[in-house]
Structure 1
């Protein structure tokens, strides 16, 4: 008996996720930033089922990568500036008249959809914000002179800017000059963090916004192939998602993040040389029948294959000759017998009920093989196709000695689930 194999590999990508909010009555400009991530099966790390963030790192994490690697945090420097609309008063009673920062630190969910209508959820949170504040004059001059620049910055705000005000957190590093201070504060909660000036500041600006962020992405091993997209915007300005207080007004009123998540799955099946031709024999061959007249209990052949799979798939059966719900063989006289076909998959591949796949019947109606899915990347592991003719059908074949039964079966591994 012969059988052929049709292999279908899967390639898929998750793309374009954007972030949303209300606008404040300020500049109508929007800042757009791309964020990219990929998933490709890694034979050296088969248990890895996460996206890899491929967005070029800029800002704080580019300067101090060790501080960010510990928390799996990434940063982007956004060309969003902010300028004071007037002097920052000394020790105001209203904290919104001071240097205030609030970021969208809570996880926000975004539904992303591919062209086939499959939906997944991505979560995003802003885990830190920072910038470089720039004064219109030397900090030493602002505080009355007679001190070093670092002492001047500390006197101006009553404490160092590297030490974030509660509930924001210390990030590890700050950098200063005569009229500026560069910083990043961690934002564990979505609340305002305020530094209160101890001396009036005639004019101040933020040169950019450093945004540290974290992602929660779906398990790529369980996602269908496709390019997924969604939209979410962040407002920037007083009482918006990014809030800088009432005096420091940003040049942009919205931040739009375009996420592109690219997934390249693998589904590959290989047969050994000659594995596309299968001869069904009794246990131990035909000698017991020829020499002793002992009828064989069944005819069978186990054909090994090797499979690499990182995404879900289904298996189907197609037949040159259909007998019931399976394939059949026929001799020259037109007598037909059914061939039972089954599959055993390697560890790491399970069915829709999370059960291992051991001699699972392959039928024309596809029942029982509609979905197989990996719990890890299965890389070039052995599986088995089982072909057999059972006793009752073998008895009928023995009534036609000297004839050959032949037929074809096509086993399909299909990633389009």
Structure 2
């Protein structure tokens, strides 16, 4: 009897297809967790950079992940009092298709940007630009709505702000796709944003319905005025394209274990052979229930192989003189695994060199008991048993579980 273990993966792949573009890898992984069998989700595996690397607890509390992108935005002219810098991100859900590299199966992933931040550098200290001596007072007065730690609506405060005389680091939450505008209160000869940090959220498909393997796909964004990521109409990036390359790594489990001695199956009537021996009364059933233990997180199929087949559903058993009889094999699976049509799996007849299924776990099934029933058809019993005759029939049956459906 054979058991197989297969894996599925969610990752995001790094690629650099052309100049004037930034590519960023986004990774996600599904592996079944025996301690949480009902948790059928991908885990983000992309290392945080930028905001969430500096403030991991804040991001964990909000289910956010962040990336730092080394794109510089420079002002095209001096900012005058009343000029606004409108920051905007693609906060609405966007879809992309990811494709299994081996099977070419496709799934849909959704992503949205839910936060934006950077560090800006001024051409002079904020205090000098507004005519004060205190560093913090300079940053607070340079803009009409205080310093950049306070996010203008519809963006939201994140609690992050750090400054030097001529720089300010900030991060804002961005719940909606609309500009968040900071307005200059004084003239600023020039400034630039040194890279951007963005936080993102993923919606991934149900991994239990996916085949094992790597699924990859890409989503591209335009940076700069009028684009998906904007830092103000007068702030121009040195790179105007950003591509997120996703790879979902699905690593399923399919494992079947037999108890000790389970590879040897002895068929008997109910209650043993004594009734037949003592009275000559033929038993109505000759069978054996063989339990097994299955761990499964993905759909699978099952097939039996007979060393010698009698019919498509029966395997031969032979005695020493080459007389034959046959046995059928029926399979039952534990609760949590359904067959075609969504029904439970009880006494499904296995077939010689023909797959049955697929069978689909509704959650990760971890070492739950199933059953194989080896049984002779009634007409085989009638033909086999004769008073005063005893013999031994044997044969080999292999049952195969396969997650490559």
CA contact (8 A) 1:67 1:172 kept: no
Structure with the bigger RCO (C-alpha within 8 Å, sep 6+) is 1
The match for 2:247 among 250, 256, 260 is 260
Matched, 1:315 2:302: yes
Corresponding residue of 1:180: 167
Q: After the TM superposition, which residues 250-399 of structure 1 pair with which residues of structure 2 at under 5 Å, given as runs?
A: 250-326=237-313, 327-332=315-320, 334-364=322-352, 366=354, 369-399=356-386
Matched, 1:112 2:98: yes
Corresponding residue of 1:13: 9
Corresponding residue of 2:144: 158
1:72, distance to aligned residue in structure 2 (A)? 0.7
Question: Secondary structure at 1:218's aligned position in 2?
Answer: coil
The match for 1:103 among 89, 92, 104 is 89
Once residues 360 and 58 of structure 1 are traced to their aligned partners in structure 2, the CA distance between those partners, rounded to angstroms, is 52
Matched, 1:72 2:60: no
CA contact (8 A) 1:221 1:374 kept: yes
Select between 159-168 and 130-139 the one with higher mean Cα deviation.
159-168
Question: Secondary structure at 1:69's aligned position in 2?
Answer: helix
TM value normalised by structure 2: 0.93
CA contact (8 A) 2:157 2:173 kept: yes
Corresponding residue of 2:232: 245
Q: Which ranges of structure 1 fall in alignment gaps of 5 or more residues?
A: 20-26, 93-97
Once the two structures are superposed, residues 299-334 of structure 1 have per-residue CA deviations (whole angstroms, 9 ceiling, x without a partner) of 010111111212211001111222222123234555
Q: After the TM superposition, which residues 12-161 of structure 1 pair with which residues of structure 2 at under 5 Å, given as runs?
A: 12-16=8-12, 29-92=20-83, 98-114=84-100, 115-145=102-132, 148-159=134-145, 160-161=147-148
Please identify which structure carries the higher strand content.
2
Once residues 260 and 391 of structure 1 are traced to their aligned partners in structure 2, the CA distance between those partners, rounded to angstroms, is 54
Once residues 198 and 338 of structure 2 are traced to their aligned partners in structure 1, the CA distance between those partners, rounded to angstroms, is 41
Corresponding residue of 1:236: 223
1:410, distance to aligned residue in structure 2 (A)? 1.2
1:363, distance to aligned residue in structure 2 (A)? 2.2
Q: Which ranges of structure 2 fall in alignment gaps of 5 or more residues?
A: none
Give the RMSD, CA atoms, in angstroms. Answer: 2.1
Once residues 154 and 313 of structure 1 are traced to their aligned partners in structure 2, the CA distance between those partners, rounded to angstroms, is 62
Once residues 142 and 330 of structure 2 are traced to their aligned partners in structure 1, the CA distance between those partners, rounded to angstroms, is 77
Once residues 72 and 184 of structure 2 are traced to their aligned partners in structure 1, the CA distance between those partners, rounded to angstroms, is 20
CA contact (8 A) 1:348 1:374 kept: yes
Paired positions, count:
399
Moved over 6 A (4+): none
Select between 327-336 and 248-257 the one with higher mean Cα deviation.
327-336
